Every structure is written in C-alpha cells, then in structure tokens.
C-alpha cells in the first residue's frame, strides 16, 4: 500500500473523532431546551453525560481488544452505525430513564469505538512523525467545540430539541460511515509477523503480561488523574463565569477559545514530543496543566477567562495524544488497541468525576474555588505518577544499543 495513505488514516481519524465527540458533547447545548420541553430536571439530563463517560470507560478496552483481533475498520464502522442509531432513538425518548440509557449508555459505548481503535491504528502506520500524527487525529476531535457545538446551538434555535438531535443523528451517519470505510489496518499487521517482530518493543509479550506490570498501571493512573484534573474545569467553567456576572453567550465563548487553543496545543505538543521525547514533554505538560486550571480560581472578568482558557486548552489538549505515543514505544503493535483502550478507560473514569464532584462542591460551598484547588492537586499527582514510569528493561537495552 502507498505509504502516503497513512495521512488518509489521519484525516479519517480526525473526522471520525470530531463528529463522535461533537455528537456526545452536544448534550449541554440541549440541556435547557430539553428541560423546558419535558419537565425533566437539569440534574437528571446531565446524569446522561456521567453515564456516557462510565460507558466509555467500560467499553474502551473491549473495543480496543476487538480492533486488535479483527482490525479497526469493522470496529469503527460498528461504532458509527450504533452512534447514529442511538442518537436517533434518544431524540424520541419518552422518559428520563429511557433518555439516560439511550444517550448515556449507547452513545458512550459507541463513542468509545472510535478513540482507542483509531489511536492504535495511527500509531501503527507511523514510524516517524508519530507524535505529530496522533496529535493531528486528536486535533480533529478538538474541532468539535468549534463545529458540532455551534451547529447544534443553531439547530435548537430553529427546531425543537428532538428534531435537532435527529438531524445530528443523520449528519453523524452521513459523515462517519463513509469515513470508517477508509480505515485500514497498519501494513505491518498484514504481513508475516516474523518480518517485523525484531523491530517491535516486547514482541513476545502477551496481553496478560502487558496489563499486569507497573508500566501499564502507571500509565492508567496518570491518565486517570490527568483527566480528573481538567474534567471539572471543562464542565463547570461556563457556569462559574456566569456566577461572576458574565452573560451566558459570552461565557459559552470561553469554551470555544479553549477548543481553538487546543488545536494549536495538539500540534505543538506533537512536534515537541517527536523532538524531545513524549514522556519528557508529557511530564512538563502535566505540571503546566495543574497550575493552569488553578488559575481559573483567580479570574472573574471575561478577559481573564479568555487568557486562562487559551492556556489551559493549549496544555490539556496537547498532553492527551502523548499517552498513545508512549504506549507505542513500549508495547507491541499487535495489542495497541487493548493497551490504549485500557488507558482510555482510566481517562474516561477520570472525566466522569468532574461534573459530579464539581457540582457537589458548588452546592455545598456556593463556590467553585475548592474544585479548582482540587484539580490542581490531581494535576500534580498525575505528573508525579508519570515521573515514576520506566520502560521495560529489554526496551531500555534496545534504546541504549541504538
């Protein structure tokens, strides 16, 4: 296969991620129209997002394992079909519990079918420029706040929420299903395994041997605390800005600034990871992220929110793709989906903490300050955990010989 096809894989992964993440994160846009139309509580509707993150956590490793066994295309294609169908069904939900199951459970499971398999696929296609490649796929996912979210907001101004969600379901099917057909298994996995085994880190490792040692556990813990660091600030900062007296329309734009900065962060961190090493750059990024989210506690004007949002968006979005690069450098290609799925599972669990804990803190103290302080602490924990990561001894030897 033409080596340049690897950039088609990157483009397909970016598009798939953008639409999938955008569809899932359209829920905050629908929150108030849904509550006003149905009488369902805002808390009850928001719970669907927490269920979605938990469903992503449970499904990530399973989807990753299936992509290792059968290739990424059937997994991503199945996820695309299920995502479109579950959005369509959720738009017709007649009760809150029905909506929570359809949007939370099914959408979460379907979205998980995109992230780990595509990240694993891209790392297998690239021996050089790997950090940049996975960062570009992640950048596609980061386009969601600037594309899908405004589109959903526009739809609910001209349609009721059910029609708007149904339109998003149709758009999801129209974009994701064709894009999934372009996905191909990395060429190294299509040829004789012996031909590439010598170049593979830990080529004789089994999945059981991969998930039990401290290397995998360290990456999972670091990703959990990393995602727990920014999940609360991502979900609650718009609400915090409104409590500071900033109009809702202006407050929502903070989210867009964060997303735009994240685009540049993914590319910048990807280039830095290729040049200076993914682990080293990620450690520094986690330290910067901790102090970035803490800075939110000290701003109250729109300009300050924009400045902090740009900084936080640049950092947290830039750090996330580097986990996949570290995994590819330390684990064999044949189990990339399973290992990346495992760390994605931990990340989804971390993301599920922010909306709930942040809301509890605000309800108890009528302030978000403690949430940002807690996020700062979890960010430092993520950095310290990742600093303990050590490559497998055989891999260290190979790097020394090189």
Looking at CATH, the fold of the domain delimited by 1-185 is given as Growth Hormone; Chain: A; (1.20.1250)
8 A C-beta contact, residue 136 and residue 9 = no
8 A C-beta contact, residue 141 and residue 24 = no
Q: What share of the chain is helix, strand, coil (3-state, %, to 5)?
A: 85, 0, 15
Q: What are the tokens at 301?
A: 């004007």
| Radius of gyration in angstroms for the set of CA atoms belonging to the chain, rounded to a whole number | 20
Q: Report the alpha-carbon distance of residue 382 to residue 322 in Å, rounded.
A: 14
* CATH superfamily membership of 205-389: MFS general substrate transporter like domains (1.20.1250.20)
pLDDT in tens, the chain (402 residues): 567 888 899 999 989 989 998 888 888 778 778 888 888 887 788 788 888 888 988 888 889 889 888 889 999 999 999 999 999 999 999 999 999 999 989 999 999 998 888 888 888 888 777 778 887 887 777 777 677 877 888 888 889 999 999 999 999 999 999 999 999 888 876 655 544 454 555 666 777 777 788 889 999 999 999 999 998 888 788 778 888 998 867 877 887 788 888 888 888 888 898 889 889 999 999 999 999 999 999 999 999 999 999 999 999 888 888 888 888 888 887 788 888 888 888 988 898 888 778 878 887 888 889 999 999 999 999 999 999 998 877 544 344 334
Which pLDDT score is estimated for 95? 92
pTM of the full predicted structure? 0.75
Q: Report the alpha-carbon distance of residue 196 to residue 203 in Å, rounded.
A: 9
Q: Report the alpha-carbon distance of residue 343 to residue 120 in Å, rounded.
A: 12
Domain with CATH 1.20.1250.20 in the chain: 1-185, 205-389
Q: What are the tokens at 91?
A: 């738009």
| Spatial CA neighbour of 233 closest among 308, 300, 293, 143 | 293
**In the block, which residue shows the tokens 């108030």?**
32
8 A C-beta contact, residue 143 and residue 256 = no
Which pLDDT score is estimated for 202? 60
The SS3 assignment for 199 reads coil
For helices 6-24 and 72-90, the axis angle rounded to 10 degrees is: 20
């Amino acid at each position: 296969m033409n080596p340049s096809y690897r950039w088609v894989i990157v483009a397909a992964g970016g598009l798939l991620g953008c639409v999938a993440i955008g569809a899932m994160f359209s829920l905050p846009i629908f929150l108030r129209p849904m509550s006003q139309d149905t009488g369902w509580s805002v808390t009850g509707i928001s719970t669907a997002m927490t269920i979605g993150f938990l469903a992503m956590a449970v499904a990530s490793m399973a989807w990753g394992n299936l992509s290792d066994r059968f290739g990424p295309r059937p997994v991503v294609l199945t996820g695309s079909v299920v995502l479109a169908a579950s959005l369509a069904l959720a738009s017709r939900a007649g009760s809150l519990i029905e909506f929570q199951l359809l949007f939370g459970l099914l959408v979460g499971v379907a979205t998980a079918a995109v992230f780990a398999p595509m990240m694993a696929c891209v790392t297998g296609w690239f021996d050089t420029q790997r950090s940049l490649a996975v960062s570009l796929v992640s950048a596609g996912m980061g386009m969601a706040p600037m594309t899908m979210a405004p589109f959903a907001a526009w739809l609910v101004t001209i349609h009721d929420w059910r029609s708007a969600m149904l339109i998003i379901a149709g758009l999801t099917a129209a974009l994701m299903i064709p894009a999934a057909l372009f996905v191909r298994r990395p060429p190294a996995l299509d040829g004789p395994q012996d031909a590439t085994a010598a170049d593979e880190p830990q080529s004789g490792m089994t999945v059981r041997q991969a998930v039990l040692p401290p290397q995998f556990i360290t990456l999972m813990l670091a990703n959990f605390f990393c995602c727990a660091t920014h999940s609360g600030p991502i979900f609650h900062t718009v609400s915090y800005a409104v409590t500071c007296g900033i109009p809702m329309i202006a407050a929502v734009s903070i989210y867009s600034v964060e997303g735009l900065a994240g685009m540049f962060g993914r590319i910048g961190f990807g280039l830095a990871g290729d040049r200076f090493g993914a682990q080293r750059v990620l450690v520094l990024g986690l330290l910067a992220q901790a102090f970035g989210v803490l800075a939110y506690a000290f701003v109250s004007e729109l300009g300050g929110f924009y400045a902090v949002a740009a900084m936080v968006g640049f950092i947290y979005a830039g750090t996330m793709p580097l986990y996949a690069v570290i995994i590819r450098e330390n684990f064999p290609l044949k189990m990339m989906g399973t290992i990346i799925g495992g760390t994605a599972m931990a990340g989804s669990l971390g993301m599920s903490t922010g909306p709930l804990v942040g809301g509890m803190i605000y309800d108890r103290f009528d302030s978000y300050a403690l949430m940002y302080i807690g996020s700062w602490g979890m960010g430092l924990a993520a950095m310290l955990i990742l600093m303990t990561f050590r490559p497998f001894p055989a891999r260290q030897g190979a790097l020394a010989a090189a």
